[in-house]
Structure 1
């Protein structure tokens, strides 16, 4: 389905049922499909809401509006349109930075925050050459495959998931591909995230080369109250695709540990 929000059309994939919803926000290069294998394991106990960020997947691709606040407003509009009363935000990488800003606003109904290989709230400072390389990473099948094999993963993906990643990365709008390395990645939301007050789980791959454990320990964990880190052995940056079973288990454990009143 599509939801009109914040001046654009956002594609939303849903499954499962329950009073508690999990709202999934994908990484730079992905789509709502990134979460399929994780969602399949938790859909029996929760309502699943997975969005495509503007410019990605099946969402509309306006010419502008790709800052963290814009992506957050899109997701907030989806949550409002669906009338979600109780939910946990689950953000991966770029989606993790978006989720941090959303959680910092202490929205009604938010009961927890799960950050999977999240981009930290502090600016990621890249050289002009590094920005150009990142902006061009998804321009051809060959470039996507190189980044996938040498940067994004530590475990080989199944053939189906590999094909999905390549398709999602290639079909994104050019303005969406350019906005993260040139704009949103450099945004500073460190002052905002201090206001996060819900339990927060941070999931990191042991071999993540993008948002490394050391970076999260220095730039993210000290800034978010109640944040706890769990590390997945032998996993890279794309843990929802590399080891969805482990990610799903951590999500289920997090839900079980929420205050009893929130699980009824």
Structure 2
């Protein structure tokens, strides 16, 4: 959305198939933090982190294709596509000493990127990552059926507000611009394409599970979840599970990982507990 206001200057990287990836690039340092947002989000998901971390590191946050100010098109929108995009982006900018920082779907994309081609990537930071929770074939089929374009397009304004609020333990006022931006998008010609894209992203996560491949990742990895995450585990399919169980299953599968569970934080842990997340990240990178 070209009319959306970003707090930093926006740059563009042109990748294969003429895909333009919008990004912000702030700060300097020996390490480059490359932030990857989640489903239905955009690079502003990292505002609270870049503002502080740019004092010590080079911080780059991108809009994935289909999101924010990046190119919109009839792309695959699966994990392989996004991982390939991230790899191309790293190569196009000539980035080295990269720390991939992924939130939710962005965490699963970061994992796929490392599994696809880890060159130049030193560490991983996964914030409430998708990919640790596993689904049966029947559960996957149900989710693919439920998350469809018609349902998303028909979501009323009051439910959109609730859908954002459920991402937080207690949604702060400084995050409510996300709701405003979504409401604005609903009135534009881009909304139909957005409603078609989101289900394809969900299918992409389900069709390319990563859990059974976690043991093959030996990069130092920091995993952070909010203890009050109401999206992981899936509240409809896995009501008997809790966030800590899912988090520990992924942590146990990754031989070189560290797990941190933060209280009073929901799925948007990097926003709601930004100070604690930034502190943990700095400690992890020492």
**Structure 1: gaps spanning 5 or more residues:** 257-264
**Structure 2: gaps spanning 5 or more residues:** 1-10, 186-190, 233-242
- 1:185 deviation in Å? 3.3
Residue in structure 1 matching 2:159, options 139, 143, 167: 143
Structure 1 residues 146 and 133, CA gap change in structure 2 (3 angstroms): farther
Counterpart in 2 of 1:152? 167
Could you tell me the TM-score, scaled by structure 2's length? Answer: 0.80
Counterpart in 2 of 1:187? 208
Could you tell me the TM-score, scaled by structure 1's length? Answer: 0.87
Supply the distance in 2 between the matched residues of 1:104 and 1:170 (Cα, whole angstroms): 37
- 1:69 deviation in Å? 0.7
Residue in structure 1 matching 2:278, options 236, 243, 248: 248
Q: How does 1:88-127 map to 2 (within 5 A)?
A: 88-105=99-116, 107-121=118-132, 123-124=134-135, 125-126=139-140
- 1:189 deviation in Å? 2.2
Residue in structure 1 matching 2:254, options 214, 224, 231: 224
Pair 1:3 & 2:13 matched: yes
Counterpart in 2 of 1:65? 76
Write out per-residue CA displacement over residues 65-121 of structure 1, whole angstroms, 9 at most, x where no aligned residue: 101010111111111111111110000000000001112245222111000000125
Which 10-residue stretch deviates more, 50-59 or 104-113? 104-113
Which 10-residue stretch deviates more, 30-39 or 238-247? 238-247
Counterpart in 2 of 1:209? 230
Q: 1:194 aligns to what SS in structure 2? A: helix
Q: 2:20 aligns to what SS in structure 1? A: strand
Counterpart in 2 of 1:128? 142
- 1:5 deviation in Å? 1.7
Structure (1 or 2) with the larger CA radius of gyration: 2
Cα RMSD between the aligned structures?
Answer: 2.3
Counterpart in 1 of 2:199? 178
Structure 1 residues 203 and 166, CA gap change in structure 2 (3 angstroms): farther
